[in-house]
């Protein structure tokens, strides 16, 4: 028996959310636009809310402070998303604590940015989920990267090796 790819993705996402067990039990999930699309390819909002999640918020939009709740951030490892997480802390913390889950492994510069900006007592955990793909069907996935086809199959393009590295980083 084989398990469908979108089920594996759903399990990874929900296990990350379940791993956060704050004292009050309830939590907030914060996502960026790219990670929301990944999550939506495998989960329904109901699945997430069933995990004692009070609401799912967009990282790029202004949000209300919930200083009694921990936040589960599921974000892509980009400078913009990480900077938004850091900004959430700068103006007084929006949440009681942060559980940071990246869709793929951030580079060392971004990890240093997180480690040097968020106090250890505030950042409760940080993990890489390796889920930076969209589950299209049971055994079909996409990176949603239209330029990859040209970079991989164009004889004139010099980006072949770099594009392979980018694709590999998304899943391993």
Scored b (16 or more CB within 10 A) or e, 20-47 reads bebeeeebbbbbbebbbebbebbbeeee
Q: Residue 32: what pLDDT?
A: 97
Cβ-contact 131, 31 below 8 angstroms: no
Measured between alpha carbons, how far is residue 12 from residues 19, 80, 101 in Å? 11, 24, 11
pLDDT at 137 over 80: no
Q: What topology does CATH give the domain 5-138?
A: Rossmann fold (3.40.50)
Task: Find out whether 129 and 103 touch, Cβ atoms under 8 Å.
Answer: yes
The two three-digit tokens of residue 168, written as one number: 């590999």
pLDDT for the residue 11:
93
In the predicted model, is pLDDT for residue 14 greater than 70?
yes
What pLDDT score does 101 carry?
98
Residues 87-131 pLDDT 10s: 998 878 899 999 999 999 999 999 999 999 988 889 999 999 988
pLDDT of residue 2: 77
pLDDT tens figures, 45-62: 999 999 999 999 999 999
CA 84 from chain centre, in angstroms, equals 13
The structure tokens listed for 146 are 């239209």
Is the model's pLDDT at 18 over the cut of 70?
Answer: yes
Q: Is residue 147 predicted with pLDDT exceeding 80?
A: no
Q: Facing residues of 28 across strands?
A: 55, 71
């Amino acid at each position: 028996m084989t398990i469908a790819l979108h089920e594996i993705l759903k399990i990874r996402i929900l296990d990350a959310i379940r791993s956060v067990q704050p004292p009050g039990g309830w939590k907030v999930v914060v996502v960026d636009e790219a990670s929301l699309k990944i999550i939506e390819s495998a989960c329904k909002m109901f699945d997430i809310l069933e995990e004692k999640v009070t609401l799912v918020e967009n990282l790029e939009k202004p949000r209300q402070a919930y200083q009694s709740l921990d936040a589960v951030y599921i974000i892509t490892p980009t400078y913009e998303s990480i900077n938004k997480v850091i900004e959430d802390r700068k103006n007084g913390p929006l949440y009681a604590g942060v559980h940071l889950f990246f869709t793929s492994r951030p580079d060392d510069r971004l990890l240093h940015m997180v480690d040097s900006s968020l106090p250890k007592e505030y950042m409760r955990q940080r993990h890489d989920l390796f889920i930076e793909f969209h589950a299209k069907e049971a055994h079909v996935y996409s990176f949603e990267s239209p330029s990859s086809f040209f970079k991989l199959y164009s004889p004139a393009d010099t980006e072949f090796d770099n594009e392979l590295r980018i694709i590999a980083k998304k899943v391993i």
